[in-house]
Amino acid sequence: MGMKKRKKIKLKYGKERVLFSDVLPYETPLTFSNRYFYRFVSKYKFYIEEECNQGKSYIFLKQKKKIDEGGLGFAHLLFGFSNTASLKQNSVFYPFQFNIAHKTGKSRILSIIHPLNQLQAVDFYDKYRYSILYLCSRSSFSLRKPVKVAQYFYYKDRLHAKLLGKKRESVELYFNEYENLKSYFSYQKYSNIYKFYEDYRYQRAEKKFKYLVKFDLQSCFDSIYTHSITWAVGGGRNSVKLIPGYKGSWLGDAFDDMMQSFNARETNGIVIGPEFSRIFAEIILQNIDEKVEHELNNKNLIHKVDYECYRYVDDYFLFYNNKKDEQIIIECFTKWLSEYKLCISPSKTIEYERPFITNVTKAKLRINMLVQTLTKQKIWEHDEINLPAEDILDDVDDISNTTIEDQVVEADNNIDLTKVLSSKLSLYADPNYTIADFKSIISETDVSYNDVVNYTLEILGRRVDRFLTNFDAGYKALCTSKFKDSDEKEKAIKIRMTAQKQLVSYLSAIIDIAFFMYNANRQINTTLKVQKLLNSIVIYIRSDYRQKKEKYIRFDDYYRNNILKKIQDELCLILKTTGAYNNAMHESIYLLVIAKSLGTRYLFSSDILKQYIKNSINKYNMFICQVLLYYYGNHEAYKDLKVDLIKEILDIYKSVPITERNRNAELSIMTADFMTCPYLCKSDKILFLKEMDIKDLKIQESIINFAEQNKYIFTKWTKFDLNKELQAKISQEVYS
């Protein structure tokens, strides 16, 4: 295959770009981002200034650019200064914590830190970025480490721009509107652990060594002691005390203090989710790597000779030839990990003998063949392109990368109509057979759905994108061509009707298969994958052609409705059964975003939503309220539901002591966000401000006016483009 075209674009964002790359977890709703928060901070250049008074340190919110009274009041609300001019330097800030489905029957707690803490992270990165890079350059084992401050990003040209025939907007314009770069730093060497399995390092190690042991750390992020960063930076637990003139003014102490500030001054465990936490852990684990390698050298066990060790965050791969060496190496790791209050997880330690192939790899190879068979259809006498498995994974060209304004696309009719008219179209998929085959693979390879569903939805989505591209190559000729005579026109109409019928039947089967897999493993990653697949189908089904100034209908309303109603029904089933998945509530509510994108005609009834809320939502939080409010909009049918929601929001405020509310990340973010919401009346917004102890009517008015003029701060309430938001979520790569 030829090389993929990629545009290299120099990053022009300032130091504040940390806000949209390194401080939020990946698992936020598609409607939620730091994009507008970044713009707000960047526009007015907010910063924190520390002052001492009578031996006590206080922090003040400052800005370098002029801002009106309403904007200043909004900033004070957002950053925790709504009822005070200053805060104590060691004030306790509480992160917003939410659960996501992690493993079967288990959940993981992720955190979003307070906006003030996010502002502190900006200054920390700016001050210590080169120290961070140095401290992350010491390990011979690490597979994922920051190596440079990112200066460029590469953006791939997409397949479906050609499919949809619409001129692409410039990459610069796209990113000017959709800032969402993956990370502040460029990383080496792998963006995903599974890429290591395909790399020459893994293949070379298998040639050199007979054995492999895989292990990871038990509750790594929950077990990290924040003070241990000073040990890692200083050379060890006891070395810090020996440094002449040490007064606690270096990176280790600054990082320690910052991580405590982010997590309500806790020293045991760090917040899980943001990239800065992975960097914090990486510095500590690199120090341990150094200690282990040095001790093994003293025991005449040389890295790359007697053994090879690779680490991806807290997952380790140890290759070796001698069983005695393995015992020595594992004991060495155990010793140095315990110095930092960390330990190896016995239940996740697995040993392999050549060939090093896991059950998960075996399952994925068979799943790849299954998906290829499913999507390889006879289309206009041209077989679908048979991509190898790795190409499917790496090729990010897809149908869902271009927005269709007014659901219309430009037609580029250069297809041989005669060939289309003389061809036979045969699209067929049996969802029952495919699902049975998939279950057979799971059983025979002894893996869980949790191991392979995300991968399966990923490659299924990519293959469906490619299938739709090939299908459209002939189909648009049927829709847009000028015919020679009535016989040719009549034949084209018949073929077009047959093609519509077959495509709708085929896509319905794909939807059945996708939702079966999603139900087998409801997680945030699989939620995004199924949304991406559905988005591709919705875009294609709802779009029409436009050639010059003439518009051509792509699909009849009957067939469009069949597909959109099918998606609505499947989403409805998810809502009805979420109560049985008590750790996957966020995953299901995130699907309301794509449900709304289907259009007003396909909104759920208030009764369905009431039942869903009753069965599934035990405790409301910020994300649940934001997504529900986004879905309700100003639809009259949801008026009563919105009244109930506002009561639940007020209960969230009342659950927090009033003296802590301005330092509570959930309340600070939620209140600022609701001030911008067009679906809330002014009286409701005033109620929320009062709960944040903002009682002055003039200040209330100015905050609301400023927020409404600026429209957004976290949630994209209006003009939401699911297609672009999906791309902003999952498609950018940062390099340097």
Kindly tell me if the per-residue pLDDT of 159 is higher than 60.
no
- Please give the Cα distance from 36 to 718 (Å, whole number): 13
Averaged pLDDT for residues 427-433: 96
Task: Answer for the pair 79, 119: CB distance below 8 angstroms, yes or no.
Answer: yes
SS3 320: strand
Predicted local confidence at residue 599, as pLDDT: 94
- Please give the Cα distance from 32 to 112 (Å, whole number): 12
Kindly tell me if the per-residue pLDDT of 208 is higher than 60.
yes
Averaged pLDDT for residues 655-683: 98
3-state helix, strand, coil in the chain (%, to 5): 55, 15, 30
Averaged pLDDT for residues 507-512: 98
Give the DSSP H/E element, type plus range, for residue 323: helix 323-339
How much of the chain, in percent, has pLDDT values that exceed 70? 86
- Please give the Cα distance from 536 to 400 (Å, whole number): 5
Averaged pLDDT for residues 490-502: 94
pLDDT digits (tens, 9 = 90+) for 478-494: 998 888 889 999 999 99
- Predicted TM-score (pTM) of the model is 0.89
Predicted local confidence at residue 616, as pLDDT: 86
Domains in the chain, please, with CATH? 196-353 (3.30.70.270), 359-599 (no CATH)
Across the beta sheet with 6-10, the strand order is 6-10, 152-156, 733-735
Averaged pLDDT for residues 316-339: 97
Phi, psi of 647 (to 5 degrees): -65, -40
- Please give the Cα distance from 20 to 181 (Å, whole number): 7
Predicted local confidence at residue 373, as pLDDT: 94
Which of 76-85, 363-372, 376-385 has the weakest average pLDDT? 376-385
Across the beta sheet with 307-312, the strand order is 307-312, 315-320, 211-216, 350-353
Q: Are strands 544-547 and 408-410 parallel, antiparallel or unpaired?
A: parallel
Return the HEC string of 207-258.
HHCCEEEEEEECCHHHHCECCHHHHHHHCCCCCHHHCCCCCCCCHHHHHHHH
The residue type found at 203 is Q
- Number of other CB atoms surrounding residue 20 within 10 Å: 23
The residue type found at 31 is T
The residue type found at 231 is W
- Please give the Cα distance from 132 to 229 (Å, whole number): 12
Kindly tell me if the per-residue pLDDT of 71 is higher than 80.
yes
Distances (CA, A) of 443 to 263, 436, 440: 42, 11, 5
Task: Answer for the pair 406, 733: CB distance below 8 angstroms, yes or no.
Answer: no
Averaged pLDDT for residues 425-440: 96
Predicted local confidence at residue 598, as pLDDT: 96
Which of 346, 326, 322, 342 minimizes the C-alpha distance to 334? 342
DSSP letter string, 438-507: HHHHHHHHT--HHHHHHHHHHHHHHHHHHHHHHHHHHHHHHHHPPPSSHHHHHHHHHHHHHHHHHHHHHH
Averaged pLDDT for residues 531-559: 92
Buried b (16+ CB within 10 A) or exposed e, 241-273: eeeeeeeeebbbbbbbbbbbbbbbeeeebbbbb
- Please give the Cα distance from 528 to 720 (Å, whole number): 16
Instruction: State the chain's mean pLDDT as an integer.
Output: 87
Averaged pLDDT for residues 229-256: 65
Residues 6+ apart with CB under 8 A from 244: none
Across the beta sheet with 87-88, the strand order is 46-53, 56-63, 87-88
- Please give the Cα distance from 477 to 500 (Å, whole number): 14
- Please give the Cα distance from 256 to 259 (Å, whole number): 5
Predicted local confidence at residue 188, as pLDDT: 80
pLDDT band at 583 (very low <50, low <70, confident <90, very high): low
End-to-end alpha-carbon separation of the chain, Å?
25
Predicted local confidence at residue 156, as pLDDT: 52
Query: CA torsion, points 592, 595, 600, 606, in degrees to nearest 10?
Result: -50
- The owner of tokens 């003009």 is 719
Kindly tell me if the per-residue pLDDT of 293 is higher than 70.
yes
Give the DSSP H/E element, type plus range, for residue 7: strand 6-10
149: left (phi over 0), alpha (psi -120 to 50) or beta: beta
pLDDT band at 475 (very low <50, low <70, confident <90, very high): very high
**DSSP-H helix ranges across 481-580:** 486-520, 524-542, 557-577
Averaged pLDDT for residues 148-167: 56
Kindly tell me if the per-residue pLDDT of 138 is higher than 70.
yes
Sign of the alpha-carbon dihedral angle for 246, 250, 256, 261: positive
pLDDT band at 439 (very low <50, low <70, confident <90, very high): very high
- Please give the Cα distance from 184 to 726 (Å, whole number): 20
Residues 6+ apart with CB under 8 A from 442: 363, 448, 449, 452
- Please give the Cα distance from 566 to 711 (Å, whole number): 34
Which of 190-199, 254-263, 445-454, 560-569 has the weakest average pLDDT? 190-199
pLDDT band at 560 (very low <50, low <70, confident <90, very high): very high
Buried b (16+ CB within 10 A) or exposed e, 519-556: bbbbbbbbbbbbbbbbbbbbbbbbbbbbbeeeebebbe
Distances (CA, A) of 249 to 234, 240, 246, 255, 264: 12, 12, 8, 11, 22
Residues 6+ apart with CB under 8 A from 485: none
- Please give the Cα distance from 102 to 222 (Å, whole number): 15
Residue 14 or 736, more confident: 14
Kindly tell me if the per-residue pLDDT of 59 is higher than 80.
yes
Predicted local confidence at residue 236, as pLDDT: 59
- Please give the Cα distance from 487 to 463 (Å, whole number): 35
Task: Answer for the pair 118, 25: CB distance below 8 angstroms, yes or no.
Answer: no
| Number of helical H runs and strand E runs in the chain | 29, 19
Residue 289 or 159, more confident: 289
SS3 315: strand
Q: What angle do CA 654, 660, 664 make, to 5 degrees?
A: 85
pLDDT digits (tens, 9 = 90+) for 28-50: 999 999 999 999 999 999 999 98
Kindly tell me if the per-residue pLDDT of 691 is higher than 90.
yes
Kindly tell me if the per-residue pLDDT of 2 is higher than 90.
no
Predicted local confidence at residue 88, as pLDDT: 87
Which of 637, 633, 636, 651 minimizes the C-alpha distance to 687? 651
- Number of other CB atoms surrounding residue 74 within 10 Å: 27
Total number of residues shown for the chain: 736
Predicted local confidence at residue 381, as pLDDT: 62
Which of 458, 400, 273, 395 minimizes the C-alpha distance to 728? 400
Predicted local confidence at residue 382, as pLDDT: 45
**DSSP-H helix ranges across 105-158:** 115-135
- Please give the Cα distance from 560 to 602 (Å, whole number): 12
The residue type found at 370 is L
Predicted local confidence at residue 86, as pLDDT: 85
Predicted local confidence at residue 483, as pLDDT: 85
The residue type found at 308 is E
How much of the chain, in percent, has pLDDT values that exceed 90? 68
Kindly tell me if the per-residue pLDDT of 241 is higher than 60.
no
Predicted local confidence at residue 656, as pLDDT: 98
Residues 6+ apart with CB under 8 A from 544: 407, 408, 409, 551, 552, 553, 554
